[in-house]
Amino acid sequence: MTQTRKTAVHFGAGNIGRGFLGQLYSQSGWETVFVDIQTDVIDALNERRAYRIEILGDESYFVDVSNVRAVDGRNVDAVAAEIARAGLIGTSVGGAALKLIAPAIAAGLGRRAEIGAGPVSILICENLLEAANVLRGLILEYADAACRRYIEDNVGFAETVVSRMVPFVPEAGRAADPLYIGVEAYAILPVDKRGFPGQPPDIKGLEFHDNLEAYEERKLFTHNCGHALCAYFGWEKGLEYIWQAAGDPDVRPRVLNALNETSAALIARHGFTPQQQQAHVDDLLARFANRSLGDTVARVGRDPIRKLGPRDRLIGAARLVLDTGGQPTHLAAGIRSALRFNNPDDPVSVQLAAMLEEHGVEHALRTVCGLDPSEKLYGMILAAS
């Protein structure tokens, strides 16, 4: 059996790849080979073989990330050669882009099958439900019979819950240094322990769980939900930044009341203790209040049609509360606030506003939120102010 290297081939050298996973790999003594298509980023990584991450906070500091290089994702042969001897594969390209990287992963796994390489796992760092099944299916479309057998016997698909916040880098800053990235200090990555065919990799920051679904729902219905509520309540009050909303005497209690509803539901559904869940909420609100991140309510609130989807952070949270015997009164108010989000710089927000103007709230509840008029939540949102 061909020996693999302590090398992580990671697809996506953006916010999460370079700003999170690269740090974890480097601090654990792994080489990182980024796969990307941004020429300036690829060239800079290969020239410097290192970069710095700014940890943003009251007292910001820098962390050095070393032992890195990059290959162009359009060069499938080069990518496949790296995968053939890698000890780990990772992705952070966005759910919609997984179909674009599947051919190269399949080629690399096919190469591993040919040379008799050992088992390998794919660390899937995407904000996508059932990401493992999605990626597996996409790769299998490009796999021949030998590669399919190799995947069945040797490849793990490990979903993760990515919670590190990475603010947008202005174009001017990116032009000055294509590798600059600033992040919050939080650096924990819950991972599905079942996604590894052998011993999980020794990488700092990874937390292995047998019940990752609990952590996925907690992230969506606490972190994503609370973040969105800060944005929508903050927008209505005319606030510019998330940190302002997180500390505002009117907005903060409304967010807390909604998160108390989701917390009770998560405790009932997944067995988190009240102390664990309260500590999680307190930590999130402290992270939202980090001024140095500079995140705006406009950015966090954008794309409200997706965020009001039937299984997403607001409607999904409210349905969970109802399913576990609670009353999502404050969540219903947050959903109504999200429906009023009208940012002229966000095309999706403009689209939603036009829909409401032409067809009314009831139409949006049916078509955007996927609610039936007979559902209790439908009436609660209509009655909310």
pLDDT digits (tens, 9 = 90+) for 199-213: 899 999 999 999 999
Q: How far apart are CA 89 and CA 94, in angstroms?
A: 15
As a CATH number, domain 7-210 is 3.40.50.720
Q: What is the pLDDT of residue 21?
A: 98
Residues 6+ apart with CB under 8 A from 106: 139, 140, 141, 142, 143, 147
Cβ–Cβ < 8 Å for 2, 117: yes
pLDDT of 351-367, one tens digit each? 999 999 999 999 999 99
The overall average pLDDT reported for the chain is 96
Entry pTM: 0.91
pLDDT of 339-350, one tens digit each? 999 999 999 999
Cβ–Cβ < 8 Å for 372, 323: no
AA identity, residue 61: Y
Q: How much is the average pLDDT of 19-29?
A: 98
Q: What is the pLDDT of residue 4?
A: 67
pLDDT of 254-293, one tens digit each? 999 999 999 999 999 999 999 999 999 999 999 999 999 9
Cβ–Cβ < 8 Å for 265, 324: yes
Model confidence band, residue 3 (pLDDT cutoffs 50, 70, 90): low
Q: What is the pLDDT of residue 385?
A: 82
Where are the domains positioned within the chain?
7-210, 214-383
Q: How much is the average pLDDT of 148-152?
A: 97
Q: Say how many CA atoms lie within 13 Å of 334 toward its Cβ.
A: 34
As a CATH number, domain 214-383 is 1.10.1040.10
Using the CB atoms, write b or e for 202-213: b if 16+ within 10 Å.
ebebbebeeebe
Of 352, 236, 333, 219, give the one whose Cα is nearest residue 287.
Answer: 219
pLDDT of 104-133, one tens digit each? 999 999 999 999 999 999 999 998 888 999
